[in-house]
Amino acid sequence: MTTKRSRVLLLVCSSRPGALGPAVGRWLADTLAPRADLLDVDLVPVAIGDLHLPFLDEEEHPSTGIHHHEHTRRWSSLVEGADGFVFVTPEYNYGMPATLKNALDYLGPEWAWKPAGFVSYGHTSAGTRAVQHAKQVVTTLRLVPLGSTVALRIADAMREDRFAPAARHAEAAEGLLEELVRVSRALAPLRERAHVDASPGPLPGSYTRRLGPDDAPEVTVLQRCCWVEEALANDTLAIPALHESPEDVRAWLNDWHTTGLWRDGRLLGMVRTRRTGADLHIGRLAVAPDLWGLGVGRWLLRRAEAAGEGCRRIILSTGAASHRNLTLYQQQGYAPLADAQDDGVVGLAKAVPA
Ligand SMILES: Cc1cc2nc3c(=O)[nH]c(=O)nc-3n(C[C@H](O)[C@H](O)[C@H](O)COP(=O)(O)O)c2cc1C
């Protein structure tokens, strides 16, 4: 699970001149700012009116992800980059405003598996019928509506022509943000699954994707737990994988091509590759200890070797006393490099068939 900051869009849904919506949005952003800071959330206020979305004018179905118009592409990238949404919505004729329905209809997978909170306002019903209406629609898009809501009666919230709801509403808004962050983190594995390449892994439900700098926290944890065995077998703590900080890991994730094996948002294993001249270097082959003995390491090694096409040889290394690794590598055709013995580390290589 990632520890990066969450990005939450605060979407002001009304767009008519003189609308109350922008004042509600400003109150919400100001109210939530301190709590958002504590929760590592970036709040991004967006007025749907500023998006200049005409009535849906795309030819393709939104589920295809094919967007012909610039206004759709801009909207798509805003929604795609968000981890959750708070819809600041009025009630128009017992339902959500058409601006919100239109903005929802424009996109498909960009919404999926993200939490949707509602801050509604209106007269006697405080906008709650608009929220019920919207909830029914958003679930089709795999948005996940929150139980917490903030419902504001306009007459109660106005103080001398200023929009200033009571303190209990501010508390309700903070509760909504906290719930949104928890649900967003819980849904992260489902979002992750939606974005992977179609490459299945060796275990049921597992899948692979290239790791990037934002995966540094998970990689740091995985390699620390995996290289303890190496430390014990070789009676040394002088192993870089045990010492690297998340910042060190972030740096090499930029330089190496690293494949991660995932299941339900958990990083199960990894391997990294890099070409130098005619050599392919393979390293950091790791499998979570509870999954040893299932052939996962062998699978990751074969996957890494596939990057060696056009190379002359593949090179890797392990501890001189890491008998499990040495056996695996020798079974896969690697032979020790005569000149590479150094500080208890054995280099091994195998030729790549032409
Ligand atoms: C087209 C329209 C329909 C409305 N329908 C409702 C309604 O069904 N229930 C309600 O409580 N208020 C209704 N109102 C009053 C709104 O709650 C109030 O005008 C509010 O300020 C609208 O939000 P806005 O100023 O951000 O557009 C309606 C207002 C408009 C303009």
Q: Is residue 201 assigned to a domain?
A: no
Say how many C-beta atoms besides its own lie within 10 A of residue 290's C-beta.
9
Q: Which two tokens stand for residue 16?
A: 């008519």
What is the best residue among 12, 28, 92, 94 to mutate for testing ligand 1's pocket, by most ligand atoms within 8 Å of CB? 92
Could you identify the atom of ligand 1 that is nearest to the CA of residue 21? Answer: 26
Q: What is the DSSP letter of 353?
A: P
CATH number at residue 315: 3.40.630.30
Domain for residue 200, yes or no? no
* pLDDT at residue 174 in the model: 98
**In this model, does residue 148 exceed pLDDT 90?**
yes
Q: Can you give the pLDDT at residue 189?
A: 86
pLDDT, residue 18, reads 96
Summarised one tens digit per residue, pLDDT across range 263-273 is 988 999 999 99
- Index of the ligand 1 atom closest to the CA of residue 123: 11
Q: Are residues 76 and 146 in the same domain?
A: yes
Residue 199: its pLDDT value, please? 80
pLDDT value, residue 87:
98
Pairwise pLDDT comparison (75 vs 160), residue with the higher score: 75
Question: Looking at ligand 1, which residue's alpha carbon is closest to its atom 3?
Answer: 92
Same domain, yes or no: 113 and 184: yes
Domain tally, the chain = 2
The answer to whether residues 155 and 10 belong to one domain is yes
**C-alpha 314: how far from its chain's center?**
33
Which residue lies with its CA nearest to atom 23 of ligand 1?
90
31 HSE (CA, 13 A, CB side): 24
Query: In which band, very low, low, confident or very high, does the pLDDT at 195 lie, cut at 50, 70 and 90?
Result: low
> Would residue 243 count as lying in a domain?
yes
pLDDT single digits (tens) 19-38: 999 999 999 999 999 999 99
Are 134 and 234 in a shared domain?
no
Q: What is the pLDDT of residues 164-193, one digit of tens each?
A: 999 999 999 999 999 999 999 999 988 887
Q: Whose CA is nearest to atom 22 of ligand 1?
A: 90
Residues in the chain: 354
* Residues contacting 84, CB < 8 A, separation 6+: 6, 8, 9, 114, 115, 116, 117, 180, 181, 183, 184
**How far does the centroid of ligand 1 lie from the alpha carbon of residue 90, in Å?**
6
Say whether pLDDT at 198 is over 60. no
Residue 126 alpha carbon to ligand 1 centre in Å: 10
* Atom of ligand 1 minimally distant from the CA of 94: 8
Is the per-residue pLDDT at 2 higher than 50? Answer: no
Residue from 123, 131, 133 whose mutation best tests the ligand 1 pocket (most atoms within 8 A of CB): 123
Do residues 138 and 277 share a domain?
no
- Whether residues 268 and 188 fall in one domain: no
Sequence-distant (≥ 6) Cβ neighbours of residue 34 within 8 angstroms = none
Q: Is the pLDDT of residue 230 over 70?
A: yes
Same domain, 164 and 218: no
Q: Does some domain include residue 75?
A: yes
> Given a cut of 70, is residue 136 above it in pLDDT?
yes
Last residue of a domain, one of 195, 220, 251: 195
Per-residue pLDDT averaged across 214-239, rounded?
Answer: 94
| Residues 289-306: tens digit of each pLDDT | 999 999 999 999 999 999
**CATH number of the CATH domain containing 36:** 3.40.50.360
| Nearest partner of 116 among 91, 90, 149, 93, judged by Cα | 149
Query: Atom 1 (ligand 1): residue with closest C-alpha?
Result: 92
- Who lines ligand 1 at CB under 6 A? 14, 16, 19-21, 90-94, 122-123, 125, 154
Q: Specify the pairing of strand 257-263 against strand 207-210.
A: antiparallel
Shortest CA distance to 21 belongs to which of 116, 130, 115?
130
Picking from 39, 40, 13, 10, the residue whose alpha carbon sits closest to that of residue 27 is 10
Which of 195, 227, 247 lies at the terminal end of a domain, its last residue?
195
CA angle 303, 305, 310 (to 5 degrees): 130
| Same domain (yes/no): 142, 90 | yes
Distance 116 CA to ligand 1 centre (A): 21
Q: What pLDDT is attached to residue 112?
A: 96
Atom of ligand 1 nearest to the CA of 22: 26
Which residue range(s) make up the domain with 23? 6-195
pLDDT of residue 342: 63
Q: Which atom of ligand 1 is nearest to the CA of 121?
A: 17
Given a cut of 70, whether residue 314 has pLDDT beyond it is yes
Confidence of residue 102 (pLDDT cuts 50, 70, 90): very high
pLDDT number for residue 343 = 77
What percentage of the chain exceeds 90 in pLDDT?
90
Residue 340 and residue 279 share a domain: yes
pLDDT at 68: 97
